């Protein structure tokens, strides 16, 4: 009897400790913002005909920085609204988990941008590489967030791997997929879809 | 069963609400009042009362500051609070060990 009671107490303690370490700000606005920005970025890049490798990388670096800055503003606004510190321990953990993969992606982009003869990756082969790395970053951050983020990360990884396969000549017409369509479709589309899903489910999940 | 471990349980921490507060703070260096209130689904008054009790026991420290002209109250465990919480967990484990069928 006492054993059950003590074990239940320990279970409650464990659950609460895990919950307090989780990042729990609303993600729907951030996902929707990044989704809309990604899709708009894809359409603008495609219509404007940004074709050269360096222009492509520079353009998407600018879109990425805009996404990062906008997400930062949204998170900060939520923290202020809820009278909570912005740089809270869960936020710090999530940022630390995201950082390594995003750093590698940035370095790959930077090398392609400043060193045109760098032949590790072709500039237009970068999108699948970025998508896989972003998926890895989300999967790592998922350890400190709700489980859905890990699944989203895996979706990015699978999409990135699928796109890598399309670079193979055997993929036929898929190998000529426009880089802007890939970036807009995958980054924008997946973020927007997940943001809409969260918009309808996040509130009720937080209440349970 | 030896009732010694049960009798040694810290009565300040043993209350459900205060145990929840201590558990959350044990996993985070500091937490804001609103974070704890929202996670634990407590009213402002209830949480304030529990925080005051823990503060009086020397287990918890409260910091009041301003962030963008808005008041920000954060709580963290003191060294005594961390020690008391660890002792509490150890005692619970002892109780489980003692009552385990051999």
- Domain coordinates in residue numbering, chain A: 29-207
Whether residue B82 is contained in a domain is answered as yes
User: Among A27-31, A37-41, A84-88, A98-102, where is mean pLDDT lowest?
Assistant: A84-88
Backbone angles phi, psi at B9, to 5 degrees: -60, 130
Q: Beta-carbon neighbour count of residue B86 at 10 Å?
A: 11
- Cβ neighbors of A100 (< 8 A, separation 6 or more) are A137, A140
3-state secondary structure A100-132: HHHHHHHHHHHHHHHCCCCCCCCHHHHHHHHHH
> Who has greater pLDDT, A62 or A164?
A62
Whether residue B99 is contained in a domain is answered as no
What number of residues does chain A have?
208
Backbone angles phi, psi at A177, to 5 degrees: -55, 135
Whether residue B57 is contained in a domain is answered as yes
DSSP state of B3: T
Put simply, whether B44 touches A (Cβ < 8 Å) is: no
pLDDT for residue A70: 95
- Average pLDDT, integer, range A180-205: 87
Nearest to A21 by CA among A91, A99, A97, A98: A91
- Using a CB-CB cut-off of 8 Å, the residues of chain A touching B28 are 20-21, 88-90
Distance CA A122, CA B93 (A): 58
The domain tally of chain B equals 1
> Who has greater pLDDT, A151 or A17?
A151
pLDDT for residue B102: 60
CATH for B34:
1.10.10.10
* Closest chain B C-alpha to A90 CA, distance in angstroms: 8
Whether residue B20 is contained in a domain is answered as yes
- Average pLDDT, integer, range A63-83: 89
- The reply to whether ipTM tops 0.95 is no
Tell me which residues of chain B have a pLDDT lower than 50: none
- B70-77 and B31-32 as β-strands: parallel, antiparallel, unpaired? antiparallel
Conformation bin of residue B42: beta by default, left when phi > 0, alpha when psi is -120 to 50: beta
Query: Does the predicted TM-score (pTM) go above 0.80?
Result: no
Q: Which of A3, A19, A21 is opposite residue B99, by nearest beta carbon? A: A3
Q: Both tokens of residue B51?
A: 């925080």
What percentage of chain A reaches a pLDDT higher than 70?
Answer: 87
Put simply, whether B42 touches A (Cβ < 8 Å) is: no
Q: Which of A10, A17, A82 is opposite residue B26, by nearest beta carbon? A: A17
Whether residue B74 is contained in a domain is answered as yes
Whether residue B101 is contained in a domain is answered as no
* Closest chain A C-alpha to B26 CA, distance in angstroms: 7
Distance CA A157, CA A139 (A): 9
The number of helix segments (H) and strand segments (E) in chain B equals 6, 3
Q: Do A24 and B6 touch (CB under 8 A)?
A: no
Confidence class for position A207, pLDDT limits 50, 70, 90: very low
Q: Is the pLDDT of residue A36 over 70?
A: yes
| Chain A residues within 8 Å of chain B (Cβ atoms) | 1-3, 6-7, 9-10, 12-13, 16-21, 24, 80, 82-86, 88-90
Whether residue B5 is contained in a domain is answered as no
Q: Do A2 and B92 touch (CB under 8 A)?
A: no
Q: Is the pLDDT of residue A208 over 50?
A: no
Range of the domain at B77: 10-89
Q: Do A10 and B93 touch (CB under 8 A)?
A: yes
pLDDT for residue A1: 52
């Amino acid at each position: 009897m006492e054993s059950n009671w003590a074990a239940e107490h320990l279970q409650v303690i464990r659950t609460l400790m895990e919950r307090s370490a989780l990042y729990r700000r609303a993600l729907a606005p951030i996902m929707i913002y990044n989704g809309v920005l990604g899709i708009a970025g894809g359409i603008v890049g495609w219509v404007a005909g940004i074709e050269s490798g360096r222009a492509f990388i520079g353009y998407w670096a600018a879109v990425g920085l805009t996404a990062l800055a906008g997400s930062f503003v949204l998170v900060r606004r939520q923290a202020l609204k809820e009278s909570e510190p912005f740089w809270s321990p869960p936020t710090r953990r999530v940022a630390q988990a995201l950082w390594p993969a995003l750093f590698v992606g940035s370095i790959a982009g930077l090398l392609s941008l400043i060193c045109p003869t760098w032949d590790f990756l072709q500039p237009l082969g970068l999108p699948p590489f970025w998508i896989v790395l972003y998926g890895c970053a989300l999967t790592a951050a998922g350890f400190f967030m709700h489980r859905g983020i890990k699944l989203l990360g895996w979706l990015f990884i699978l999409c990135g791997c699928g796109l890598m396969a399309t670079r193979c000549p055997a993929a036929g017409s898929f190998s000529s997929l426009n880089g802007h369509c890939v970036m807009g479709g995958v980054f924008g589309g997946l973020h927007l879809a997940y943001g809409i899903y969260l918009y309808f489910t996040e509130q009720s999940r937080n209440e349970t | 069963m030896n009732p010694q471990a049960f009798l040694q349980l810290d009565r300040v921490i043993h209350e459900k609400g205060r145990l929840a507060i201590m558990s959350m703070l044990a996993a985070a260096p500091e937490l804001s009042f609103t974070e704890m209130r929202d996670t634990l689904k407590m009213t402002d008054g209830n949480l304030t009362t529990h925080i005051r009790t823990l503060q009086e026991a020397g287990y918890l420290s409260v910091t009041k500051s301003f962030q963008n002209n808005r008041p920000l109250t954060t709580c963290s465990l003191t060294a005594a609070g961390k020690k008391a919480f660890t002792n509490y967990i150890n005692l619970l484990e002892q109780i489980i060990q003692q009552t385990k069928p051999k």
